[in-house]
Amino acid sequence: MDPMQPVLELRRIVRDYPGHRAVDHVSLALEPGEFYSLLGPSGCGKTTTLRIVGGFERPDAGDVLLAGAIVNELKPWQRDVSTVFQNYALFPHLSALGNVEFGLRERGVPGRRDRALRALDLVRLADKRDRRPAQLSGGEKQRVALARSLVLEPKLLLLDEPLAALDPALRKQMRAELKAMQRKTGITFLFVTHDQEEALSMSDKVAVMNRGAIEQFGTPEEVYLRPATRFVAGFLGAINWFGQAGVRPESTRLAREKPEGLPCRRAAVESSLFLGNCVHVNAALDDGGRAIAEIPREQNHFREGEIVWMHWDPAAELRFE
């Protein structure tokens, strides 16, 4: 097999729902062994795109290719991909081990008990193999769902907001685990999320979706530092709009005196929020807009109502047509 052959290729996929177009000419190619994210707000078409790849929905136009072959007509059970569902969708009548064995049995894989035990070991649940889903915690269910899919060694693993149901501390821990799991197995992951921090921290490449279309596809650094559109700039972290120029809060500085030779705006301090490692100073611009400056806490000597100058390095400006 051609090592550069994409694991998954989407060619101008369209999916229409009554009254709106959920997926609007999405094209995407995923290379083997990488961690990809589909990032966007709810209703942007990312889950529909994932469901089309999994075979749960059919595209109205366009082609889905897995390892170079068009699979538009193939049912989910005929595709070499597996999905980790948002609410895990574990079979409540089966033990953890029974859940992991399910797919091996359906696909007629020999030696399924050993494989299933190894998969449970991989997610560190070997000691809970006889528990029913109802007797497992959220994080444990999550890991059973992961083992159930990974044990089939699919070419591509689809993850539909798998961390959304977990509490924040566990979510951060699972990020690292998922990433480690992807590196260990070498399986391509396609991870759907609306959480930009999640997408940026785990992915090799992020596809940012909005209104059914991909606005930018690039590395986390590219989409964060060089966003292609105003939407991408705004969705991936906060941004201040100074006319046509967008400046991230961490690149925005404050001064009492008007700085020489730097772009700047006059503003009135409205409030400052202490965030532990830094301070967010909210200010009202003269033109009616609002802006945030993220500054080190030892520099926070600005009082509410004070008139200040917000300035920035022109190199930090994000500009869009």
Partner 1 sequence: MRKIFLLPARFWMALFFAAPLAIVCAYSFLTRGDYGGVELPWVLENFTRLADPLYLAILWRSVWIASLATVFCALLGFPLALFISRAGRRKNLYLQLVLLPFWTSFLIRTYAWIFILRDTGLVNTVLMRLHLIAAPLQLLYNDGAVLLGLVYNFLPFFVLPMYATLERLDPALLEAAADLGARPFATLRRVILPVSAPGLVAGSVLVFIPCLGAYLTPDLLGGGKSVMLGNLVQNQFTTARDWPFGSAASLALMLASALLLAGLMRSRIARELM
92-128 core/surface letters (b: 16 or more CB in 10 A; e: else): eebbbbbbbbbbbeeeeeeebeebbbebbebbebeeb
Instruction: Select from 23, 39, 147, 152 the one that contacts partner 1 (CB under 8 A).
Output: 152
Which residue lies nearer to partner 1 by CB, 37 or 149? 149
Which residue lies nearer to partner 1 by CB, 27 or 86? 86
Min separation Cβ 57 and partner 1, Å = 10
Min separation Cβ 170 and partner 1, Å = 21
What count of other Cβ atoms lies within 10 Å of the Cβ of residue 168?
8
Which residue lies nearer to partner 1 by CB, 55 or 220? 55
Instruction: Select from 21, 85, 166, 177 the one that contacts partner 1 (CB under 8 A).
Output: 85
Binding residues for partner 1, rule CB under 8 A, total 23
Q: Does 103 bind partner 1 (CB under 8 A)?
A: yes
Min separation Cβ 93 and partner 1, Å = 4
251 SS3 class: helix
The token pair that represents 257 in the structure block? 């005196």
Which residue lies nearer to partner 1 by CB, 79 or 194? 79
Closest CA to 13 of 51, 60, 62, 55: 62
88/145 Cα distance (integer angstroms) = 6
Q: Binding string to partner 1 for residues 37 to 56, with x set by CB under 8 A, is what?
A: -----------------xxx
Instruction: Select from 12, 20, 107, 256 the one that contacts partner 1 (CB under 8 A).
Output: 107
Which residue lies nearer to partner 1 by CB, 155 or 280? 155
Q: Does 320 bind partner 1 (CB under 8 A)?
A: no
Which residue lies nearer to partner 1 by CB, 91 or 274? 91
* CA distance between the termini of the chain: 42
Chain centroid, CA 7 distance in Å: 19
Question: Which residues fall within 8 angstroms of residue 223, CB to CB, at 6 or more apart?
Answer: 200, 206, 208, 216, 232, 236
311/290 Cα distance (integer angstroms) = 14
Instruction: Select from 37, 47, 48, 83 the one that contacts partner 1 (CB under 8 A).
Output: 83
Q: Give just the sign of the alpha carbon dihedral 38, 39, 45, 50.
A: positive
The piece of 2-10, 102-110, 122-130, 233-241 that touches partner 1 (CB under 8 A) is 102-110
36 SS3 class: strand
DSSP for 256-293 reads: SSPPTTS-EEEEEEEEEEE-SS-EEEEEEETTS-EEEE
Instruction: Select from 37, 48, 49, 82 the one that contacts partner 1 (CB under 8 A).
Output: 82
Which residues sit at the interface with partner 1, rule CB under 8 A? 54-56, 75-77, 82-83, 85-87, 89-93, 102-103, 106-107, 148-149, 152
